[in-house]
Amino acid sequence: MKFTASCAELSGLKADSLILPTGSELSNSAKVVNKLTLNSIDSAIESAEFTGKSGQILVLNLPQSPLQRIILLGTDGLSNQRQIKKAVTAACGALNKTKSKTALWIGGNITQDIQAEATIVAQSINASLYSYKKHNAGNKPNLESLTFWSTQQSAIQSAEAGLKYGAAVGDAMNTAKQLGNLPANICTPSYLAAQAISLGEAKLAKASITTEILDRADMQLLKMDSLLSVAEGSEEPPKLIVINYQGAKSEEKPVVLVGKAVTFDSGGISLKPGRGMDEMKYDMCGGASVLGVMNALVELELPINVVGIIPATENMPNGRATKPGDVVTSMSGQTIEILNTDAEGRLILCDSLTYAAKFNPDTVIDIATLTGAVISALGKVASGVLSNDQQLANDLIESGTQSADPVWQLPLWEEYDDLLKSNFADMANIGGPQAGTITAGCFLARYAQDYKWAHLDVAGTAWVSGTNKGATGRPVALLMEYLRQKAK
């Protein structure tokens, strides 16, 4: 996909489709388009075919006018980033349906912030061009280029910056989606490790990026027995993927992103019910989002240091698998009574969090499809955020709002931590039936005491079920916005 910005005379621009965001009151640019299309917008409003209501789409085919087709997108009442993203996504869907090769987006009618509008447009366009392909043909996208038009010359730079950033974020979301959608017989820990290596090799010319894969023997030496206990029941070897991106001076402390990558979560001996179990191939979406982010960082050459750590394993029930009641000693020395082998995410994350300290981090953020409970709490709208640092939580909430990839905070109070008490170890790996997302967070907090840390529970947001089953690429946009702000 090619994106360009332009402020040239509208009548001189050519495209298969022009997308015009507008309310019922026409802006100056809308009036120009109206004139160029023989008052087609006035007529659509007069006939009440188009009301301008937020998110409304009307495709007008105008073979007799110089602009052959315009797609109207209603903007009246658009009041936040989530609504804007939804509206822009709807317009991208309508645009793709027309099979246009070239598109012209009239900027400046959704928000005065041209960079923000260009960002969401490029991100949504690229994200809309994704389709799963591997075991089916997928859909070949028709769209090849989009010109983002704005009134003033002074806005061109902002538009270009937004397009570049949004395009990279959209691509990174698609990387995360594809890895998420791949079945677990292909997307194994070894496959993810190979992807990480090839990312490093492909991008080496562009940026300083190094990839290291720790295998079982390396993890044994590091005493990561909690992580290894999850891998014990599987034939697939576990991998700890470590990607180091140096975009800033080497003495600058990195942000460490830790992404859960259970490539299939059967539950282990605490076996999950069969219904919907296929969706546990998505239990690596946290790790996939980290891979996507690392891609985008290199693409954008963001001036920041970021380390991605991805513990990758299956959770399976063979004869060597961990049994409920087993006790393991984590890398930190703290002991864990594994009362439920299905609470495996925290077992691989805790050793990864201990390992993260090695990088002397400024901040550590883990991303995990950790609990079904977060779906009860927040549904599929917001991811959960829990943090030992309120400023960090606030920053993530703000980045989520800006990027329309929202998160909502849950508390980490000691009353919840008390629920992890065990008679046989320093802690149990489950806290009982209540507040499951919080007790999981309290468990992780015990391993993140030496640095600023936040945990994102994306079990409700990383994929959708049902007829539109598929990964969403969340929370790539949120993480990128957070890193972009931090790199400023």
Stretch that binds ligand BES, among 165-173, 342-350, 356-364, 388-396 (CB under 6 A): 342-350
Partner touching 294 among Zn ion, ligand BES, Mn ion, none, CB below 5 to 8 Å by kind: none
**CA triple 440-227-352, angle to 5 deg:** 70
Cβ-based neighbour number of residue 174 at 10 Å:
21
293 interacts with, out of Zn ion, Mn ion, ligand BES, none, CB within 5 to 8 A per kind: none
| DSSP E strands, 406-479 | 407-409, 427-428, 452-457, 463-464, 470-471
Closest-CA residue to 366 (of 486, 431, 447) = 447
Nearer to Zn ion, 345 or 384 (CB): 345
Selected catalytic residue, list 346, 446, 474, 484: 346
- Minimum CB distance to ligand BES smaller for 372 or for 379: 372
H or E element, residue 174: helix 156-181
Asked if residue 487 lies in contact with residue 310, where contact means CB atoms within 8 angstroms, the answer is no
From candidates 303, 372, 379, 411, binder to ligand BES by CB under 6 A? 372
Q: Any contact of residue 345 with Zn ion (CB under 5 A)?
A: yes
The verdict on 265 binding Zn ion (CB under 5 A) reads yes
What single-letter DSSP state applies at residue 209?
E
Neighbours of 301 (CB within 10 A): 10
Q: Does 395 bind Zn ion (CB under 5 A)?
A: no
**Site membership for ligand BES, residue 345 (CB under 6 A):** yes
Q: How many residues bind ligand BES (CB under 6 A)?
A: 15
From the list 81-89, 153-161, 258-266, 387-395, the region that binds Mn ion by CB under 5 A is 258-266
Selected range binding Zn ion among 22-30, 107-115, 293-301, 345-353, rule: CB under 5 A: 345-353
Among 369, 387, 403, 472, binds ligand BES (CB under 6 A): 369
Interaction partner, residue 430 (Mn ion, Zn ion, ligand BES, none; CB < 5-8 Å by kind): ligand BES
**Which of these ranges, 52-60, 90-98, 254-262, 399-407, lies near Zn ion under the rule CB under 5 A?**
254-262
Contact 325, 338 (CB under 8 A): yes
Nearer to Mn ion, 36 or 428 (CB): 428
The residues near 260 (Cβ < 8 Å, ≥ 6 apart) are 283, 284, 286, 287, 311, 345, 348, 349, 366, 367, 368, 369, 370
Task: By CB under 5 A, tell whether 265 contacts Mn ion.
Answer: yes
Pick the binder of Zn ion from 16, 171, 283, 481 (CB under 5 A).
Answer: 283
Examine residue 342 and tell whether it contacts ligand BES (CB under 6 A): yes
Q: Is 272 an active-site residue?
A: yes
Please tell me the distance from the alpha carbon of residue 432 to that of residue 438, in angstroms, as a whole number: 11
Cα–Cα distances (Å) from 210 to 354, 362, 480, in that order, read 20, 19, 20
Judged by CB, which is closer to Mn ion: 265, or 395? 265
Least spacing, CB of residue 431 vs Mn ion, in Å: 15
Q: Segment near ligand BES (CB under 6 A), from 20-28, 102-110, 156-164, 368-376?
A: 368-376
Place of tokens 């990027």: 403
Q: Residue 366 CB, nearest distance to ligand BES (Å)?
A: 14
Using CB under 5 A as the binding rule, whether residue 337 contacts Mn ion is answered as no
Which one of the listed residues 272, 380, 452, 469 is annotated catalytic?
Answer: 272
Q: How far is CA 224 from the centre of its chain?
A: 27
Residue 69 annotated among the catalytic residues of the structure = no
CB–CB of 109/24 below 8 Å? no
Four-residue CA torsion sign, 365, 368, 373, 378: positive
Nearer to Mn ion, 70 or 374 (CB): 374
Name the residue with the smallest CB distance to Zn ion: 265
Please provide the size of the chain in residues: 488
* Site membership for ligand BES, residue 348 (CB under 6 A): no
**Nearer to Zn ion among residue 160 and residue 279 (C-beta):** 279
What six digits make up the tokens of 344?
């495996």
Per CB under 5 A, which region of 134-142, 203-211, 280-288, 459-467 contacts Zn ion?
280-288
DSSP line for 274-318: STTGGGGGGGGHHHHHHHHHHHHHHHHT-SSEEEEEEEEEEE---
Please list the residues that pair with 388 across neighbouring strands.
none
Binding to ligand BES (CB under 6 A) within 395-454 occurs at 430, 436
> Between the CA of residue 244 and those of 199, 295, 298, 362, what are the distances in Å?
11, 12, 11, 14
Residues within window 338-367 making contact with Mn ion, judged by CB under 5 A: 342, 344
Distance CA(339)–CA(323), nearest Å, equals: 8
Binding partner of residue 337 among ligand BES, Mn ion, Zn ion, none, CB cut-off 5 to 8 Å per kind: none
Q: Minimal distance in Å, beta carbon 283 to ligand BES?
A: 4
Give the tokens for residue 66. 């110089």
Structure tokens at 227: 């992580």
Instruction: List interacting residues with ligand BES (CB under 6 A).
Output: 265, 283, 340, 342-345, 369-373, 430, 436, 459
Binding site for Zn ion (CB under 5 A): 262, 265, 283, 345
Active-site residues, by number, are 272, 346
